[in-house]
Amino acid sequence: MKLHRLPRFPASESHFDAVRILKTAILLCAAPIALSAQTVTFSGAPAAVNFGNVNLCAAGKSIPAPCSETRTLIYNVTGSGNLGAPRVVTQGSPGLDFTLATGSTCQGTVTEGTTCKVNATFTPLYAGERPGAVEITDESGNILATTLIYGVGKGPQIAFQRGGAIAFLPFSVVSQPWGITVDTAGNVFVVNSYNLFYNNTQSGQVVELPAHGGPQITLPITFDTSNPPTGIAVDGAGDVLVANFKAGITDLPANGGDQLTLPFTGFSGSNTVAVNGPGDVFVANGADILELPGNGNPQIAFDLPAHASASGAAVDPAGNIFTDSLYEIPAGAGTPISFPIGAGFQGSGTVAVDAADDLFVTGAYGDLPVVEELPVIGSPITTPSLSNIFGYLNGPYLGLAVGPAGDVFVTDYYDNEIVEFLRAQPPATLDFGTLAIGGTSTVPLTISNIGNQTLAVTPLFSRSSFKVLSQSPASCLAAVLSGETCTAQLEFAPTTVGVQNGTLTLRTNGSANPPIITLLGTSTAVGRTPVINFSPDFSNATASSVQTNGHTALDGLCRMLTDCGQYETGSAFFTTPVNIHSFITHFLFFLSGAGQYDAPVADGFTFTIQRDGKTALGRHGEGLGYEGIGKSVAIKFDLYNNAGEGPDSTGLYVDGALPTTPAVDLTGTGIDLHSYDTFDAQIAYDGTNLELTLTDTLTQAVWSHAFPVDIPSTVGGDTAYVGFTAGTGENIASQLLFNWTFTNP
């Protein structure tokens, strides 16, 4: 949004080499070496350059054409001197959707009375409107002129799991977070309102979490204590716009200039602010929506129905305006249209729209905070409250944004959490379980198209034992319309005994790399059932079936190996020795610390196979309850760096060895045993290799590793006791185990 600092002159527009040319006056000092701007303007109709619709294409591909569009911007030089290299950015970042093309002449020595040009190319990375800017600079890199540019990426975009997998963003400090926005580079901006309604002693701040993983940044923008910040947006040049409660809209220029207040009139207060590619700024103003056009035209007010007060607004590329009171104002100031939603829904002031024109709004049903999705086609979809998943997030979700890849971001005001719903990320694994040859198992996979053109999906299986059994609607994978979903029932029908893991590659007509999903399935001989079956929990366990030793106990329906005391050791073994020549065992585990919501610290636990007896119990601390158990094989799940193994590791150990090193470091694998997530563990032995597969059931990260070992020879027999051991030292942890099965193929 540039109108507040750039005076405008009459439009000047012509054509050159069949390319749209937009002329912009640049008034420069007559300094002989360096140029500095006295007055810079970009005037005309429009005041921003529209690159039009361009298709999403795979990297290096030229179909479906057009995959890119290059436009030329002409600038008048009114003073001789030297210019620096022009910059072309997408929301302030170079090298993304908009790039500098060859042949640009607005750099080096320029002469008064001539013109120079900047060639910019638009190659969209995602569907939807893509905002950018061209910046003319002096020799020192100071920005002399900014021209907003924009275009629309056209193409399908695959997504998964509405409200399924989530991630908590690693902000170091957030305090009553309100507004949130995500730019094209993936930088996340959050407004810290500092308890807006209850404590006005702090004025609020805006923090940024860089996409490259650097430390949190506090932006140099200030607010008064009576009007803390609420909503936030970023324009094509990278300017940060903040709704300053009732004080107006504050603009922090990307070029490092002083913050400014946009010249809205009749502004009574807004929780949110929105900006589109041309630089038009929109705010919800109670009874109406205010638009401050980027081309310098007068402010526009869009009236809402008398009963439909709004405090949040969003806009799509077509110019349709959406409000948190669930109204759409069609482009061209049409009559507001109401959206249907479930009875009892109460909005909380924030709204967002994705490339498919699906609408998202935060709110609640009674005390249950939700993110409600209203597809452009179909019925409303309620994203489950996080409190249903974790039991400790309270809401309300006051901030809401849709990232360029389609992920949905929300701020949890009371719990100071920033949460990302990973719509764009496929499930890492689909588990079909264990079944006998001749049987079948099905798992549903729901695919969404969050792009703006029809999506076609071709499923490719690496094993013939997996296939698509059915689709709903029928044959929908061939054509998933924008905003629609398709559910495929995947079938596992094994014909041979053993682990049958495979992959599913989803080849699409989109530009992104095809998603790949790991398929887990195991088959047994006909009539084989699990030798051990504590599924879904240990409610059917008895003293005659499970021997507990040390500090191991039954916590509700879960087996707890240590109970958060210092220097504890515990073990639990199935009381009947089982065949260990080949097997598949599967269990879920959850690790916690001293408090109900504290992360675990130390030390860890093991899955152990041993012939010392069902009362076997090893040393505490780094011994993990395993050290000292002879005739044994164990895989560890280690939380603490005792001897260089790292704070997040696994490994194979035999004959009661100290389970520290050698070890396999899990850092960077997506498996973080300290994460307070529930993990799915599958351990399969084929007589040669003991393969461990770990899945984080929240983030869907998956990791596998095979350990070569001759188990019968190591333990000295064909059968052995199987179970778990754990230990704590000065630092503590608790381990909850459930859904344990053990099967011989």
Compute the distance between CA of residue 42 and CA of residue 561 in angstroms, rounded to an integer. 69
Q: Do domains 158-421 and 532-743 have the same CATH topology?
A: no
pLDDT at 217 over 70: yes
pLDDT grade for 87, boundaries at 50, 70 and 90: very high
Given a cut of 90, whether residue 662 has pLDDT beyond it is yes
- Report how far residue 50's alpha carbon sits from residue 319's, in angstroms, rounded to the nearest whole number: 14
**β partners of residue 399:** 411
Task: Please compute the mean of the pLDDT values over residues 397-418 and round it to a whole number.
Answer: 87
Confidence tier at 524 by pLDDT (50, 70, 90):
confident
610 pLDDT exceeds 60? yes
Least confident window among 105-109, 166-170, 431-435:
166-170
**What secondary structure, in 3-state letters, does 48-97 show?**
CEEEEEEECCCCCCCCCCCCCEEEEEEEEECCCEEECCCEEEECCEECCC
Q: Does 648 have pLDDT greater than 50? A: yes
**pLDDT over 60 at 30, yes or no:** no
Quick one: pLDDT band at residue 132, thresholds 50, 70, 90? very high
Residue carrying structure tokens 């609607």: 473
Asked whether the CA dihedral 627, 633, 637, 640 is positive or negative, the reply is positive
Question: What is the reported pLDDT for 26?
Answer: 32
Which range scores top for mean pLDDT: 189-203, 455-469, 543-557, 560-574? Answer: 455-469
Contact call for residues 308 and 347 (beta carbons, < 8 A):
no
Residue 323 near residue 312 (C-beta atoms within 8 A): yes
Q: For the domain with range 158-421, which CATH number is right: 2.120.10.30, 3.30.1360.120, 2.40.50.180, 2.40.50.100?
A: 2.120.10.30
> For the residues 116-121, what does the mean pLDDT come to?
93
Dihedral angle, C-alpha 552, 677, 169, 599, nearest 10 °: 0
Strand 19-28 and strand 69-77: pairing? parallel
DSSP conformational letter for 123: -
Statement: residue 597 has pLDDT above 60: no
What are the beta bridge partners of residue 14? Answer: 21
Q: How far apart are CA 143 and CA 135, in angstroms?
A: 6
Nearest to 641 by CA among 659, 654, 629, 617: 659
Q: How confident is the model at residue 647 (pLDDT cuts 50, 70, 90)?
A: very high
Instruction: Indicate the domain borders of the chain.
Output: 13-154, 158-421, 429-524, 532-743
To 10 degrees, the CA torsion angle through 426, 428, 430, 436?
150
Q: What average pLDDT does this structure show over 267-287?
A: 90
Is residue 565 a contact partner of residue 551, using CB atoms and an 8 Å limit?
A: yes
pLDDT at 201 over 70: no
> Rounded to an integer, what distance in angstroms lies between the CA atom of residue 389 and that of residue 172?
23
300: exposed, middle or buried (C-beta count within 10 Å: 0-12, 13-18, 19+)? Answer: middle
pLDDT digits (tens, 9 = 90+) for 684-732: 999 999 999 998 877 778 899 999 999 999 999 999 999 999 999 988 8
Q: Is the pLDDT of residue 14 over 50?
A: no
Q: What are phi and psi of 713, to 5 degrees?
A: -70, -35
Please provide the average confidence, as pLDDT, over all residues in the chain.
Answer: 83
Q: d(Cα 259, Cα 583) in Å, to the nearest integer? A: 66
CA distance 485 to 159: 9
Of 107-121, 531-545, 637-651, highest mean pLDDT? 637-651
* Angstrom distance (rounded) from CA 399 to CA 349: 8
Q: Which residue has the higher pLDDT, 333 or 129?
A: 129
CATH tag, 429-524: 2.60.40.10
Between residues 392 and 422, the one the model is more confident about:
422
Q: Which helix (H) or strand (E) holds 499?
A: strand 498-499
- Residue bearing the bigger pLDDT, 716 or 27: 716
Homologous superfamily in CATH for domain 13-154: Immunoglobulins (2.60.40.10)
- CATH number for the region 532-743 comes to 2.60.120.200
Q: Tell me the C-alpha distance between 269 and 283, whole Å.
A: 9
Cα gap 466→490, rounded to integer Å: 7
The pLDDT score that the predictor gives to residue 186 is 93
User: How would DSSP label each residue in 668-723?
Assistant: TTT--TTS--EEEEEEEE-SSEEEEEEEETTT--EEEEEEE--HHHHHTSSEEEEE
Average of per-residue pLDDT across 365-385: 62
Range scoring the smallest mean pLDDT among 30-34, 311-315, 625-629? 30-34
pLDDT tier at 190 (50, 70, 90 boundaries)? Answer: very high
